Amino acid sequence: MAENEKSASRKRYPELAPFGEAIKVEEEILRFWESNGIFRRSVEERPADDPFVFYEGPPTANGRPGVHHALSRTIKDLVCRYRTMRGNRVVRKAGWDTHGLPVEIEVEHKLGLDGKDQIEHYGIAAFNEQCRKSVWTYLDEWHEFTRKLGFWLDLDDPYITFKNEYIESVWWILRQFWDQDMLYQGHKIVPYCPRCGTSLSSHEVSQGYADTSDPSIYIKLKVEGEDAYFLVWTTTPWTLVSNAALAVGPDHDYVRVRNKGETLILAEALVGVLDGDTEILGSVKGSELVGKRYEPCFPFFKDAPGAFRVIGADFVSLEDGTGIVHVAPAFGEDDYNAGKAEGLPMLQPVDEAGHFTGEVTPWAGTFIKDADPEIITDLKRRGLLYRSGKITHAYPFCWRCRSPLVYYARRSWYIKTTAFKDLLLEANSKIQWIPPEVGANRFTAWLEGNVDWALSRDRYWGTPLNIWTCEGCGKQYCIGSVEELRSISEAFPEEFDLHRPFIDDLDVGCPECGARMRRVPEVIDCWFDSGSMPFAQYHYPFENMNLFQSQYPAEFISEGVEQSRGWFYSLLVIGAFLTKQSPYRRCMPHGLVLDAEGQKMSKSRGNAVSASDVLHTDGADALRWYILASGSPWLPKRFDAASLRDTANRFLGAVRNLYNFFSLYAGIDGFEPKGEIRSSNLLDRWILSRYNTTVRDVSTMLDAYELTRAARAIQTFVIDELSNWYLRRSRRRFWKNEMSGDKAAAYETLYRVLEGVSLLSAPFVPFLSEAVYLRLRGKADQLSAGEGGAAANPDAASVHLARYPEHDESVIETEIEEKMAGVLRAVSAAHALRNNAQIKVRMPLAEMFVHSPYPKDTAWLGSEEFAFLVRDELNIKKITLLDDPASLVKYRVKPDFSKLGKRFGKAMKQAAGLIEALDAASVKTLLASGEISIELDGKKEVIAKEEVQILQETAEGFAAGSDGDLTVILDTRLTPELRKEGLARELVNRIQNFRKDSGLEVSDRIELAYRSDGDISVVFAEFGEHICLETLAGKLVDGKQDWPHTTSFKVGEQTVELWMRRI
């Protein structure tokens, strides 16, 4: 065939670019998808009445996408692509979370502002306008990251939480809570950030805990009218300024103790906290101490009525401290509740910025935590400090600004989630959590400990809380829609913004008395915004009623595991309350992404990895495959660039090489698939069976959301079975000159399986799968169509528009698969033995012996087809089944001290002696049954195979190894005849490399000449016909020739010269 004809025929299956050009190929495919509307078609061409509902958790675009976002988006895209290929319509609406503290803090830093006073001086309108702009800081990078990752998402019509339509739906939801008395204002202890000037919800607090060092002090408070002191422990010295009472456990035992010349009162169980010698003077129940008065440790509120007395309380613990708890009702939930029950004064000399007020004269204007050292010094100076130290404990910090939180009594708005806790638990019980323990353990425990949702925030950039209070009659109204607000407002503008300050400038009249109403000043928790997205993304209930109903609830959501107390929670609270069911049926939380050393990634550590950078250097398929194949999504994942390239290159490289092999030879032979495979060839039958079994298994795994197991099943099939076994053992069939029936069957089989692999792996690696699929289908020219403004092809093919493969049960041959599995085990073990003995496969061996106590391991020996494969693969003349390998292998058993040491203790030495003395029959029993019994001190002890090491010793000239219960033994003795045959194979290998290095095509025929001495010359003479057949040589002559290609090399100590020409 002429060169130009060969080139033309190969275009039917264009070669895939090398691994290093993956990014270029991916960009070409992205343009193909976009110019031909493949994503849009993948949705619209699926039936609307068969949806798979997916919710996209909204990120914030004022931060750059990290590699952890790639993890989340890869998982979501895989599931959505799979369900699309299974025939579902999968709507994928993008979303952006645009409100809240994260945005405000970013803008504060940008504008050089610090705190609410400076924001209000700058102007709320101007500040919020900067927030509106800030949320899109990295929008282009997010779009490009999403695009390059291959995450199909409708970015053209996203839901945006700051849009009026979205806010209106959120208002309607809040109105539903209001109408059922589930939205209320209360005065409670709340987690409060002094720096941000706002309270936080419990699920926000849960995201900010960190270990920190705080003071740990013991102080003495003098009992009024007695020469004795109550001993009290605290880790928050600043709260002592607001102390109002001491609490004891009424049923606890307390003692008076003489220590260091003073009488101290504390719990009997905690006397050990005292320093030095102690003398117990007497004991009483805590109830006998209730009512006693003591002198305040600070004088600022010494005349407060009802203060400075001992009360009984059930929260007093004997696990640490002294059993006497200092109570400051303004700064702790237990304290607050006790204060209300006991009528204690609310002493709160701390402003909303966390500074002491004027009453606390020594530290007025000082931040409370900064005052701790001076307070401790003052207590010591006045003789009230018993001991001072430090304690490291978990303490809550603001999840965004990282300032320490305080528990602070103030008025806030709440959603009464405790009133429908049972509904939340019931809804959660019907969610399929992946893995189950996340829902059964972590999330259920969170719901069990649920507290009312602290909804309001004293901030600026957020959904305004839609409650108005009448200045006349005092009635409050929750406005549930823009139309309702318009109906009671004067001069409601056509163009409006529902944010502060515009919403507060409206002239709103009271429906009851006509007086002016004012909106409460707060905005709401931004987690309520994101949790409202199933409804608000479609502006429900004001429009899109049918669309909403078709898209609720979600079949699947997935975000980071930390969202168990964030978005997963807010979705459930809102959805379950409104619809009495969970808004999502399945949830897969994914683990953290760590650096290569196992450290959490963060900007401050300098180990954060940009997703865009990884995509730029390695491409999307490589990143996606690494994410999916390297470990279960819900486990913490170490990100290592070198490991990524190794993992991805093994799989993607195997697919690329398989296709390029097919492309090369199918192009040469002009192969066109007929779609029918009628092959009796064992390898064809086996690979088609394995393919269909893999399809069945992968589909089952994906249906069960076992994503990593599915990826690894595909990888095993592609690398170990299709590439390393089927194709390697079938290569000669493609090399034949004529298109025989066997060669055609090999082509049809490889074509069918490669096409199947492209479909099977499409949700995992969408780019390479598309490239292979279009090339196999003769549609590769589509990739360049539509460029340069050319019209899109509405009928363009794509692997992502195809149906996911379904297995054909009639093609699965279990017996063949089981026998071939035994073949692969034997081959693997034998290759390992050759490597250890440093004997190349090109050197033939006389015999291999196999043994197993289980017939299924060696069943393949009963069929010559299977046995031939093993002999040919391993270059072995004969295979023998051994009933007992004892004639060639001696076994020694040694105990595994790490496993048996704890069991036998002092008797281990005696047990080791018995184990090492086991005879051949006992070892045979151990190998066959997996256990053996010994008698130790008159007692029978069963030793399992896993508790010992079984060592093999082989006779000289033999090598033995095992794979589980299968034993393989090679006769490694080399006769002169075997050595000559091995040299012939070595020469074939050198000549093939000579052909390749000379630029010859694989189909080119040649003539060869050689010059050498001794054994090599004899090998050329005796094996010349074999050498010619293997190298496509029409002639082999002895002696130098004037031909264009020449080389020389050494085989052992002998020099070989070659001359070659193409014919």
- Measure the CA–CA gap between 394 and 404, rounded to whole angstroms: 11
For residue 500, with 0-12 CB atoms within 10 Å meaning exposed, 13-18 middle and 19 or more buried, which class applies? buried
Tokens of 569: 């929670």
33 counts as catalytic:
no
Minimum mean pLDDT among 81-85, 513-517, 633-637, 702-706: which range? 633-637
Q: Strands across the sheet with 385-396, in order?
A: 279-285, 253-259, 262-267, 229-234, 209-222, 385-396
Q: Which of 58, 237, 349, 885 is catalytic?
A: 58
- Measure the CA–CA gap between 871 and 893, rounded to whole angstroms: 32
Whether residue 997 has pLDDT greater than 70: yes
902 counts as catalytic:
no
Q: Which of 110, 600, 856, 996 is catalytic?
A: 600
Closest listed residue to residue 167, CA positions, set 518, 489, 572, 524: 524
Q: Which of 233, 413, 468, 567 is catalytic?
A: 567
- Measure the CA–CA gap between 937 and 959, rounded to whole angstroms: 39
Give mean pLDDT, residues 726-750: 91
Give per-residue pLDDT as tens, 833-842: 999 999 999 9
625 counts as catalytic:
no
- What predicted TM-score, i.e. pTM, was given to this entire model? 0.85
Tokens of 783: 């990739």
Q: Which of 97, 378, 525, 618 is catalytic?
A: 97
Q: Is 1037 helix (H, G, I), strand (E, B) or coil?
A: strand
- What pLDDT sits at residue 945? 83
- What pLDDT sits at residue 6? 38
- Measure the CA–CA gap between 347 and 330, rounded to whole angstroms: 6
Q: Which of 24, 580, 603, 856 is catalytic?
A: 603
Give per-residue pLDDT as tens, 138-196: 999 999 999 999 999 999 999 999 999 999 999 999 999 999 999 999 888 778 887 77
Q: Which amino acid is at 898?
A: S
Closest listed residue to residue 541, CA positions, set 900, 1056, 173: 173
Q: What is the DSSP letter of 739?
A: -
Closest listed residue to residue 341, CA positions, set 266, 247, 406: 247
What sign does the CA torsion over 109, 111, 115, 116 have?
Answer: negative
Closest listed residue to residue 31, CA positions, set 651, 649, 793: 793
Helix then strand count (H, E) for the chain reads: 37, 38
Give per-residue pLDDT as tens, 207-266: 677 888 889 999 999 999 999 999 999 999 999 999 999 999 999 999 999 999 999 999
CATH of 889-954, one of 3.40.50.300, 3.30.43.10, 3.30.720.200, 1.10.287.90: 3.30.720.200
- What pLDDT sits at residue 125? 95
Give mean pLDDT, residues 75-103: 95
Q: Is 186 helix (H, G, I), strand (E, B) or coil?
A: strand
**Would you place residue 130 in the very low, low, confident or very high pLDDT band (cuts 50, 70, 90)?**
very high
Give per-residue pLDDT as tens, 468-498: 999 999 999 999 999 999 999 998 988 999 9
Minimum mean pLDDT among 86-90, 748-752, 779-783, 873-877: which range? 779-783
Element (H, E) at 247: strand 245-248
**Would you place residue 76 in the very low, low, confident or very high pLDDT band (cuts 50, 70, 90)?**
very high
Element (H, E) at 94: strand 93-96
Q: Is 276 helix (H, G, I), strand (E, B) or coil?
A: coil
- What pLDDT sits at residue 792? 62
Closest listed residue to residue 532, CA positions, set 485, 503, 567: 567
**Would you place residue 3 in the very low, low, confident or very high pLDDT band (cuts 50, 70, 90)?**
very low
Mean pLDDT of the chain: 90
Whether residue 646 has pLDDT greater than 70: yes
Minimum mean pLDDT among 525-534, 789-798, 837-846: which range? 789-798
For residue 209, with 0-12 CB atoms within 10 Å meaning exposed, 13-18 middle and 19 or more buried, which class applies? middle
Which overall architecture, per CATH, does domain 976-1062 show?
2-Layer Sandwich (3.30)
**Residues sharing a CB contact under 8 Å with residue 734, sequence separation 6 or more, in sequence order:** 661, 665, 743, 746, 747
Give mean pLDDT, residues 13-24: 87
525 counts as catalytic:
no
Residue with tokens 């053992």: 729
**Would you place residue 1 in the very low, low, confident or very high pLDDT band (cuts 50, 70, 90)?**
very low
Give the CATH number of domain 3-18+636-796: 1.10.730.10
Give the chain's length: 1063
97 counts as catalytic:
yes
600 counts as catalytic:
yes
Tokens of 487: 């109906």
Label the pairing between strands 948-954 and 889-895.
antiparallel
- Determine contact, residues 212/392, Cβ cutoff 8 Å: yes
Whether residue 698 has pLDDT greater than 70: yes
Expressed in percent and rounded to 5, the helix, strand and coil fractions of the chain are 45, 20, 35
Give the CATH number of domain 209-396: 3.90.740.10
735 counts as catalytic:
no
Tokens of 242: 């607001």
Q: Which of 33, 453, 527, 634 is catalytic?
A: 527
- What pLDDT sits at residue 49? 93
751: left (phi over 0), alpha (psi -120 to 50) or beta: alpha
What backbone torsions phi and psi does residue 63 show, to the nearest 5 degrees? Answer: -135, 155
580: left (phi over 0), alpha (psi -120 to 50) or beta: left
- What pLDDT sits at residue 7? 42
For residue 248, with 0-12 CB atoms within 10 Å meaning exposed, 13-18 middle and 19 or more buried, which class applies? buried
Q: Kindly provide the residue ranges of all beta strands, DSSP E only, lying in 431-471, ordered along the sequence.
A: 432-433, 453-454, 456-457, 467-470
Parse the chain into domains and list their residue ranges.
Answer: 3-18+636-796, 209-396, 816-885, 889-954, 976-1062
Q: Which of 551, 563, 715, 782 is catalytic?
A: 563
- Measure the CA–CA gap between 31 and 37, rounded to whole angstroms: 10
Give per-residue pLDDT as tens, 365-406: 999 999 999 999 999 999 999 999 988 878 888 866 778 888
For residue 389, with 0-12 CB atoms within 10 Å meaning exposed, 13-18 middle and 19 or more buried, which class applies? exposed
Q: What number of CA atoms fall less than 13 Å from residue 634's CA on the CB side?
A: 17
